[in-house]
Amino acid sequence: MAIPRLAATVILMRTPFEVYLTRRSSSSSFAADAFVFPGGTVQAQDGTPAAHARVHGRNDDAASRTLLVAAMRELFEEAGVLLACTKAGYRLEAGRINAEEIASERAGVRDGALPFADFLASHDWYADARALAPFSHWITPSSEPRRYDTHFFLAIAPADQTVTADSIETHDGCWISPSEALARHRARRLHLVYPTIKHLERLAAFSELESLRDFARSKPIYTIEPATTMEGDFWIPAELEGAW
Amino acid sequence: MVTLVRAPNPSPMTLSGTNSYLIDCGYGQALVIDPGPPIASHVDTLLEAARVQSLTIAAIAVTHWHPDHAPAAAPLAGMTGAPIYAHPASSIPHDRDLELERDLCIGQTALRAIDAPGHTFDHVIFYLARDRALFTGDVILGEGSVVIAPPGGAMRPYQRTLQRLADEFGEASVIYGGHGPIVTDAQAKIAEYIAHRRMREEQILAALADQAQTIPELVLRIYGKTLNPLQPAMARQILAHLIALEGEGRVAAEPTGRAMSAGEDTMLNPRIEEIVAPEEAAIITAELGSQLRIGALYRYRLNAAVSGELP
CB A219 within 8 A of CB A226: no
Query: Measured between CB atoms, which of B94, B156, B296 is closest to A61?
Result: B94
**Whole-angstrom Cα distance, residue A109 to residue A73?**
8
Per-residue pLDDT tens, chain A, 244 aa: give them.
788 999 999 999 999 999 999 988 777 777 778 999 999 999 999 999 999 999 997 767 899 999 999 999 999 999 999 999 999 889 888 788 887 888 899 999 999 999 999 999 999 999 999 999 999 999 999 888 899 999 999 999 998 888 887 655 556 889 999 999 999 999 999 999 999 999 999 999 998 898 898 888 888 888 898 888 877 889 888 888 878 8
pLDDT for res A147: 93
Tell me which H or E stretch contains B255. Answer: strand B251-255
Number of domains in chain A: 1
* Cβ-count burial A214-230 (b if 16+ within 10 Å, e if not): eebeebeebbbbbbbee
Chain B residues whose CB is inside 8 A of the A139 CB are 89, 121
Contacts of B253 in chain A (CB under 8 A): 237-239
B-chain residue closest to A150, CA distance: B89
CB-based contacts of B261: which residues, under 8 Å, 6+ apart?
A: none
Q: Is A95 helix (H, G, I), strand (E, B) or coil?
A: coil
CB distance B64 to B87 below 8 Å: yes
Q: Along chain B (311 residues), what's the average pLDDT of each consecutive run of 10 residues?
A: 95 91 98 97 98 98 97 97 95 93 97 97 97 98 94 94 98 98 98 97 96 96 85 94 93 94 93 86 89 90 66 45
Collapsed DSSP state (helix, strand, coil) of residue A227 = strand
Task: In whole angstroms, give the CA distance from residue B50 to residue B29.
Answer: 9
- Domains along chain B? 2-196 (3.60.15.10), 200-306 (1.10.10)
Half-sphere exposure of A175 (CA within 13 A, CB side): 12
The nearest CA of chain B is from the CA of A172 a distance in Å of 31
Smallest CA–CA separation between B235 and chain A, in Å? Answer: 13
pLDDT of residue B12: 82
Residue ranges making up the domain that contains A27: 5-240
Residue B174: Cβ-neighbour burial (10 angstroms; 0-12, 13-18, 19+): middle
| Element containing residue A9 per DSSP (H, E) | strand A5-14
A44 part of contact set with chain B, CB < 8 Å:
no
For residue range A155-182, list pLDDT tens digits in order: 999 988 888 876 555 568 899 999 999 9
Identity of the residue in B86, B160, B249 whose CB atom sits nearest the CB atom of A230: B249
Distance of alpha carbon B76 from alpha carbon B93, whole angstroms: 13
Pairing relation of β-strands B213-214 and B251-255? unpaired
Give the CATH number of the domain where residue A18 resides: 3.90.79.10
